[in-house]
Amino acid sequence: MGGAKRGASAVLWEDKIQWHTLADGVDVNAMAWTKQAQRVLSPAAIGFVAGLHRALEPERRRLLAARRARQAAFDGGETPGYLTGEEGRAARETPWKVAPLPEDLLCRRVEITGPISDAKMVINMLSRTADGHRADAAMLDFEDSMKPSWHNVMQGVENLIGAVDGTLTHRKPARGRQPEKLYRLDMDDMPLLMVRVRGLHLDEVNLRIDGAPVSGGLMDFALSTFHTARKLIAQGKTPKYYVPKCEQYLEARWWNRLFDLVEKGLGIPAGTIKATFLIETLPAAFQMEEILYEFRSHAAGLNGGRWDKIFSDIKALKEHPDRVLADRGSISMNRPWMKNYVLQLIRVCHKHGAFGMGGMAAFTPGRTPERRAEQTRKVVEDKTFEASIGHDGCWVSHPYFIGPAMKPFARKNQLDVIPDLPEHPDLLPKSTPPWTMDGLRKNVRVGMAYVKGWHQDIGCVAWDDLMEDLATLEISRAQTWQWLRHGITLDGGEQVTRPLVLRVFEEEFEKIVAEIRTAMKGYPEASVAKEIERFGQAREDAAHIFTEETFRPFLACATDPAGLLLEERRARLRRGTCAF
């Protein structure tokens, strides 16, 4: 089952935590109270987080309850739609603009993103490539590309502090004929530094305030601003953030209140903090104008998060037999509802003076020159389309593609481009082919590769020449679940059933085993066996999650308690941590 419900004999891992008191009403998992955590969670930082939690947690809980009610309505046959009554009228019918954008936010042609917990990746994102290219902005990520283990979160905060101070380094030891290499930052040649926090739904169970877990996103934002916002301002830079997975305008209002309270608590001018909201859920796609209005004093723009959006399309309408989506690989801006969604985003943003950012090029460089040339061609084609319709910039997941992605964006921004669209363009996904065995196999392979990384506290994996993060795992499991739910007949004539899905897991696992043996030829047999064992565990867990009876809204809605052994973490993942 997807929900985290207590049975008569159920024991949640949270019940086993030994708590260490940090302040009145503030406790930390004793296993999480490491020397690193003690540096990050100073008494002043703890007080800062606690004050924000107490002011905002009741409303967060109400917003999550509203999500449950909204999904129940969708499951009952309703579909998302535009707001047309009094609700949000001021956003739609009065003239307004976002606050003027600071100079360092006016050119964001290419943004690169990766996990904030990996020092080497952070340095590479903030540096020039070997051929001299550099992104305009780098988004250091606490969310989809980072497994939210306690260590990763604490390491992420320390890496952020080092990036802002310019002291972050990474030492790669000598290996074979390769000498030791030291990675360091050039403070005089860095892109705009941004941070993406975790979503509204995710509980950080290792820190509780007045008996309740703190919001992961609130904690990320509070600690990031507490440790770096005033330093950035002193450097003449804008504290800039990304907010994921917003579903409607009242959630944007919650985040804006958090921004206001943080500015007040830090004693920095109102409106100093700037944010871009990812429009990556189907309900939010219908409320872009209302969402932007709610944080207009802090708005840098909106971003079309295409991968999570596809996941949300499936999740929101999973019970609708006439909305069963095609192979994930066949869905891009070529689908009318996807193109309308990004055109609407650009129109809303530019109408009100904000940036409308494009999507992700998720390639990792292929192993052959021919493969890399084909990938580059696809990146240029995708980004040429995005630039042609008015996006101000785009995302890449690997430095190799910064140069190709930059080329189509000839101007600093395109704020003057306002697409011509009907007042209410059609944003609802359609049930169209293809549904193929190859698509099912791709979903299964992604599931095993990602869950294997998850068990090793890795939140993004380079797999089959793509960077697969949590968003693409969510698409893969949601699509497989939806096909199974509705008994879709694949193009080859086979109906998707649970035995078929489990058979594909077994077949793809055997292929992966063969690939491992080829790739690890000459390695000690114990090392090969360990890698195969890890994939075997991932196969079992992913197959369970992909075929569970009740669809969970997210892979996880709560972090793992620090100190859990692998088997305990696996059991917790299979049980699910979403109570909604």
Tokens 């993060």 — which residue? Answer: 469
Q: In what order do the strands lie in the sheet with 26-29?
A: 19-23, 26-29, 203-209, 212-215
- Write down the catalytic residue from 141, 382, 469, 560: 469
Is there a contact between 255 and 295 (Cβ–Cβ < 8 Å)?
yes
What is the CB neighbour count within 10 angstroms for residue 16? 11
User: Are 478 and 368 contacting, i.e. CB atoms less than 8 angstroms apart?
Assistant: no
Residue of 196, 198, 445, 569 marked catalytic: 196
The encoded tokens of residue 423 equal 């007042």
Q: C-alpha distances in angstroms, 108 versus 51, 232, 359, 415, 469? A: 34, 18, 13, 12, 22
Token code pair at residue 395 = 């995302």
- Spatial neighbors of 303 by CB under 8 A, at least 6 apart, are 242, 276, 277, 278, 279, 280, 345, 357, 358, 395
Q: Does residue 472 contact residue 445 with C-beta atoms inside 8 Å?
A: no
Cα-based distances in Å from 349 to 291, 392, 417: 11, 10, 10
Which two tokens mark 70? 């909204």
DSSP at 184: E
The identity of residue 297, as a single letter, is: S
Q: Is 196 a catalytic residue?
A: yes
Tallying the residues shown for the chain, one arrives at: 580
Of 455, 466, 484, nearest in space to 556 by CA: 455
469 is catalytic: yes
State the Rg of the chain over Cα.
23
First to last CA, the chain: 12
Residues 6+ apart with CB under 8 A from 484: 496, 497, 498, 501, 546, 547
Cα–Cα distance measured from residue 388 to residue 383, given in angstroms and rounded to the nearest whole number: 8
CA dihedral 127→131→137→142, nearest 10 degrees, is -60
For 21-30, the CB contacts below 8 A with 24+ separation are 22/46, 23/47, 23/50, 25/50, 25/209, 25/210, 25/211, 26/50, 26/207, 26/208, 26/209, 27/207, 27/208, 27/209, 28/206, 28/207, 28/208, 29/150, 29/205, 29/206, 29/207, 29/561, 29/562, 29/563
Token readout for 372 is: 């890399």
Active-site amino acid positions: 196, 469
